[in-house]
Amino acid sequence: MYTVKEVAKKMEVSEHTIRFWAKSGFFPFVKRNSNNIRQFEENDLEWVRIVKCLRGVGIDNKSIKKYIELCIIGDSTIKERYDIIKKTREKAQKQMKELKKQLELLNFKENYYNELIKNNSKDTWNPMNKK
């Protein structure tokens, strides 16, 4: 049993975001205790994990809601859920490619600046220096 705060810490998402997601209907199955406090079970964390994953890959909240709703409907929606996950996985792979390129550029620039500092030389690449 976890409170929102504990879930937030465990899953590395802000409390605000967990509450926002809860309000958005992403966790329709989370119970409350007699004081109206949300009690996330171990199982519920699995849902936080998948929501975090989908958001992390840039799936919008409306689509996430739809996915959750398909889960609620049950086994008749497995094919549809499969399609969503597949498309999301493809999207994530594209992002991975992008991120690799960005990392390369950052590595290049870090190196470049590092050399400049070491050799105390001018930044000849910076177009501002050509004016």
Q: Which residues bind DNA (CB under 7 A)?
A: 3-6, 14-17, 19-23, 32, 34-38, 55, 60-62
Distance CA 19, CA 36 (A): 13
Smallest distance, DNA to C-beta of residue 17, A:
4
Residue 15 vs 53, nearer CB to DNA? 15
What are the DSSP calls for 69-119, one per residue? HHHHH-GGGHHHHHHHHHHHHHHHHHHHHHHHHHHHHHHHHHHHHHHHHHH
- What is the contact mask toward a copy of itself in residues 2 to 21, using x (rule: CB under 8 A)? --------------------
Q: How much is the CA Rg of the chain, to the nearest whole Å? A: 22
Three-state secondary structure call for residue 123:
coil
Residue 2 vs 47, nearer CB to a copy of itself? 47
Dihedral angle sign, alpha carbons of residues 61, 63, 69, 75: negative
Residue 50 vs 116, nearer CB to DNA? 50
**Interaction partner, residue 131 (a copy of itself, DNA, none; CB < 5-8 Å by kind):** a copy of itself
- What is the contact mask toward a copy of itself in residues 41 to 80, using x (rule: CB under 8 A)? --xx-xx-xx--x--xx-------------xx-xx--xx-
Q: Are 67 and 28 in contact (CB under 8 A)?
A: no
